[in-house]
Amino acid sequence: MTDWTDLTSTRPITLSGASGIDRAAHHRLDEAWLSAAWSHPTTRVFVVSGGQALVDDTPDGRTELVMTPAFEAPVTETHRYFLGQDADGVAYFAVQKDSLPGRIDQSARPAGLREAGLLLSPRDAGLLVHAVALENWQRLHRFCSRCGERTVIAAAGHVRRCPACGAEHYPRTDPAVIMLVTDEKDRALLGRQMHWPEGRFSTLAGFVEPGESIEQAVRREVAEEAGVSVGDVEYVASQPWPFPSSLMLGFMARATSCDIQVDGEEIHEARWFSRDELRAAFETGEVLPPTGISIAARLIELWYGEPLP
């Protein structure tokens, strides 16, 4: 059995690496501590809006989140989310607003995780993925699912409470499986979704259904989307994917059949590729690889043996 943990540690999956941020969840209900942290001169704050934040390209070629002291941040009493502390005790907050603020120097630009995830440091990428996930959830779950009353924000953005019936609601995370399937010839199965551009191929993926194990989900999704049966399933790594609220669980899976029958709904086309066939398709432009931010790219690279173009 392959030790995938060792392989992924050499090139961590984007949005999954160690960020150096302690989420310090024990402080979320301590209003006195949160107030003091917000007022501390070392605290750093950034604005999140519509899944985006301001980033800045530095003269030495880095891309950073634009963060300010709390006293320079836009005013809000409710949509203020505590994201954690670093090893030096610096606290980080995100403020949710309807739009991003402008910058006097005009050097900053708005960007989301898809655009900036590969460019940001592990710390900044970790902060942004946390903030985007909270913002998505807060924006879409404002009312109590039990009684319909408008809920209020608590626990520094990590809970919504209903003042009418007392129910507490927590951020939603939907588990999804994403898998690279190989056959007895060590060929990889890649598919193209209906709405993707011509030539864009990637791994198969799908959501875990109620009452289903993740291994069962891998086998079911591959069978449904491509008509291929799967036997052995090995876990590789996971990746938060807040578009809007998924946790991608990555696997390598071994096919027990090779005949492809796509469902024609989610998957428009699926093909088996040897390494030489995929390399040639990359070189001619016949196949476009998945974006580097996604766990799909890393799963393919683990089989392919080198970074994708």
DSSP 187: P
| Cβ 6 vs Cβ 301: under 8 Å | no
Mean pLDDT of 176-201: 95
Using pLDDT thresholds of 50, 70 and 90, give the confidence band for residue 9: low
Mean pLDDT of 83-98: 96
Q: Inform me whether the pLDDT recorded for 158 exceeds 90.
A: yes
Mean pLDDT of 236-241: 94
3 state DSSP class of 214: helix
Q: Inform me whether the pLDDT recorded for 150 exceeds 70.
A: yes
pTM: 0.90
Angle at CA of residue 14, ends 234 and 130, nearest 5°: 105
pLDDT, residue 102, reads 73
Mean pLDDT of 139-158: 96
pLDDT, residue 18, reads 77
DSSP 7-19: HHHHSPPTTTS--
Using pLDDT thresholds of 50, 70 and 90, give the confidence band for residue 76: confident
Using pLDDT thresholds of 50, 70 and 90, give the confidence band for residue 240: very high
Q: Inform me whether the pLDDT recorded for 60 exceeds 80.
A: yes
**pLDDT greater at residue 75 or residue 166:** 166
| Cβ 235 vs Cβ 295: under 8 Å | no
pLDDT, residue 11, reads 66
Q: How far apart are CA 113 and CA 128, in angstroms?
A: 7
pLDDT, residue 145, reads 95
Using pLDDT thresholds of 50, 70 and 90, give the confidence band for residue 12: low
pLDDT, residue 10, reads 63
Alpha helices in the chain (DSSP H): 4-10, 31-39, 113-116, 122-140, 214-226, 275-284, 295-304
Mean pLDDT of 5-11: 62
193 CB contacts (<8 Å, ≥6 apart)? 200, 266, 267, 268
**pLDDT greater at residue 22 or residue 118:** 22
pLDDT, residue 14, reads 75
